[in-house]
Amino acid sequence: MTIQRDASAHIKPHAASPEVQESLGFPSEKIDNWHDKAIELLGEKVQSSRALKLAMDACMKCGACTDKCHYYLGTQDPNNMPVARQELMRSVYKRHYTFTGKYMPWLVGAKELDETMLDRWYTYFHQCSQCRRCSVYCPVGIDTSEVSMAGRDILASVGLGQKYANQIINKANTKGNNLGLPGPALADTLAGLEEDVFEETGIPVRFPLDQHGADILLVTPSADFFAEPQVDGLIGYAKVLHQAGLSWTLSTAASEAANFGLFVGSRSHTQQLGMKIRDAAKALGVKRLVFGECGHAWRVAQNHLSELVGGFDFLDDNYPKPQHIAEVTHELLTSGAIELDATRNAHRRLTFHDSCNVARASSLGSTPNGQFTVPRALLKASCDHFFDMAEHTTKQTTFCCGGGGGLLTDELLELRIKGAKPRMDALKAVVEQHGVTDLVAMCAICKSQFATVFPEYGYAFDQVLSLHQVVGDALVMTPAA
């Protein structure tokens, strides 16, 4: 379907308030010497990042990435072609850091960072969900997310931070999670979930909190504590861990797996949020660290967390790195520690959305291509009716949900709706061919984004299922002896 809307609406995020900017150590408003500071930071970032330097130096403008961005496909805005979005920074870099750009800028397309260019940076670096799909098709591996992350950090550092992401980091720093949920409220929520599961199963499944000496610290996105359908995923985690007889706990101090430091491109804030998890794991004396279903939380956990926080030398030697809950559940299934009955999901016909930060930015366990095979193995063991979307829209070439990268905010709703179109088209095809009734994803942002855009594309779906909601419904549970 074609959505007719004002092309100029919803293209730029609201700016962060002075109070939020200051709380994160950024200027409260645009500084007087913003130009010189931005150019200085750009040079530092390129010199310290091989990926960013590649983006500045190696682009051949071959066009391989041109139509690979979901925002370009949805908006048809030429500035959303990955090569064009990169060029906003590359042209400024050339102007200040290359010989030809300094003295003959017209020869290489070098441009000055003036007010107009600064506004384009703020607009289009916040129209990149950092999904990295363009990097799959680039013959030299240029990753536009590296450009947009660097651009956002530079913008915030001269006083132009984005409200949504920066405000969430502030909440996580001061309250312990992105929702600002206080400890007593968390404890009450978990007690309520225990009652719900007992009423459903007759089995006393516990949701332990701050349990010192537990073997596993489960760190999950705070949306799992109250938002549908995420809370059903949390219930699924608890059922699996209970049935397997594993000792585990949640933590008040580390009640957030998501790390929005990644979205603003700030190493220091990514590190600060990561230290909360390390400190909580060490204080509780756990042996394993397991992350729930959240795409960018897992991207940070697998690729950056250990280096950022100084490692996890206190964990069990058999589990020296963070694990994903899907990896843990798959190991329990293949070892026979849990049993799944697919007939319990007989009313469902499922397809799976490969979330970008799992599909292209991480893996699951030691299983070859585990980020693709593990969730599908769990779904097929949990439901007899599973159907993949078209091959060119799954796995490494999956399309973004349209709301990732710190863009899940109301003022960008127009962009999010248009950016979701490639994925909605792929979903439509599998629904029409196989009668799919439910979409499954293991990312909190994907679930929220899809629930918002489904009505815009005429779907009867009202939510996205968590992987562990499906697993939990299929799990064969027996009372303790």
Q: How far is CA 340 from the centre of its chain?
A: 28
Q: How far is CA 184 from the centre of its chain?
A: 27
Interatomic CA distance for residues 449 and 416, integer angstroms: 8
One domain, residues 358 and 330: yes
pLDDT score at 425: 95
1 has a pLDDT exceeding 70:
no
pLDDT score at 460: 81
Whole-number Cα distances in Å, 139 to 134, 142, 465 = 10, 8, 36
pLDDT classification of 289: cutoffs 50, 70, 90: very high
pLDDT classification of 176: cutoffs 50, 70, 90: confident
Q: List the structure tokens of 409.
A: 């905010």
Q: How far is CA 37 from the centre of its chain?
A: 30
One domain, residues 427 and 355: yes
Write the secondary structure of 365-416 as one string of H (helix), E (strand) and C (coil): CCCCCHHHHHHHHHHHHHCCCECCCCHHHCHHHCCCCCCCCCCCCHHHHHHH
Average pLDDT in the 180-193 region?
92
Of the residues 106, 127, 160, the one at which a domain ends: 160
Q: Is the dihedral of CA 223, 229, 232, 233 positive or negative?
A: negative
396 has a pLDDT exceeding 80:
yes
Of the residues 111, 134, 160, the one at which a domain ends: 160
Backbone angles phi, psi at 338, to 5 degrees: -130, 160
Average pLDDT in the 162-178 region?
92
One domain, residues 285 and 365: yes
One domain, residues 142 and 176: no
* Boundaries of domain holding 316: 171-474
Q: Answer yes or no: is 100 within a domain.
A: yes
Helix (H), strand (E) at residue 39:
helix 34-48
One domain, residues 122 and 76: yes
Q: Answer yes or no: is 89 within a domain.
A: yes
Each residue's pLDDT tens digit, 67-80: 999 999 999 999 99
Mean pLDDT score of the chain: 93
Each residue's pLDDT tens digit, 118-157: 999 999 999 999 999 999 999 999 999 999 999 999 999 9
Q: Answer yes or no: is 22 within a domain.
A: no
One domain, residues 342 and 402: yes
Q: Answer yes or no: is 10 within a domain.
A: no
98 has a pLDDT exceeding 70:
yes
Q: Answer yes or no: is 104 within a domain.
A: yes
Average pLDDT in the 375-379 region?
97
425: Cβ contacts below 8 Å, ≥ 6 apart? none
How many CB atoms are located within 10 Å of the residue 373 CB? 16
As for how many domains the chain has, the answer is 2
pLDDT score at 366: 73
211 has a pLDDT exceeding 70:
yes
Confirm if 437 and 398 have CB atoms less than 8 A apart: no
One domain, residues 187 and 146: no
Average pLDDT in the 415-438 region?
96
Report CA Rg, the chain: 23
pLDDT score at 181: 85
pLDDT score at 10: 56
6 has a pLDDT exceeding 50:
no
Each residue's pLDDT tens digit, 290-333: 999 999 999 999 999 999 999 999 999 999 999 999 999 999 99
Interatomic CA distance for residues 374 and 382, integer angstroms: 12
pLDDT score at 228: 77
Domain at 38, CATH number: 1.10.1060
pLDDT score at 4: 40
One domain, residues 277 and 383: yes
Q: Answer yes or no: is 282 within a domain.
A: yes
Short-list 113, 141, 90, 102, CA closest to 38: 113
pLDDT score at 374: 96
Largest interatomic CA distance in the chain: 80
Of the residues 107, 137, 160, the one at which a domain ends: 160
Q: What angle do CA 240, 246, 252 make, to 5 degrees?
A: 90
One domain, residues 213 and 114: no
Q: Is the dihedral of CA 238, 241, 243, 245 positive or negative?
A: negative
One domain, residues 155 and 177: no
Picking from 27-41, 217-231, 346-360, which range would have the lowest pLDDT averaged per residue? 217-231
One domain, residues 138 and 194: no
One domain, residues 360 and 384: yes
Question: Which segments of 125-160 does DSSP mark as H helices, in order?
Answer: 133-137, 144-157
**Considering the chain, what percentage of its residues have pLDDT values greater than 90?**
90
**Angle, to 10 degrees, between the axis of helix 82-97 and the axis of helix 50-57?**
90
207 exposure class (CB count in 10 Å sphere: 0-12, 13-18, 19+): buried
pLDDT score at 480: 65
pLDDT classification of 51: cutoffs 50, 70, 90: very high
201 has a pLDDT exceeding 50:
yes
Q: Answer yes or no: is 479 within a domain.
A: no
Q: Answer yes or no: is 15 within a domain.
A: no
Q: What angle do CA 356, 219, 451 make, to 5 degrees?
A: 45
146: Cβ contacts below 8 Å, ≥ 6 apart? 49, 51, 52, 55
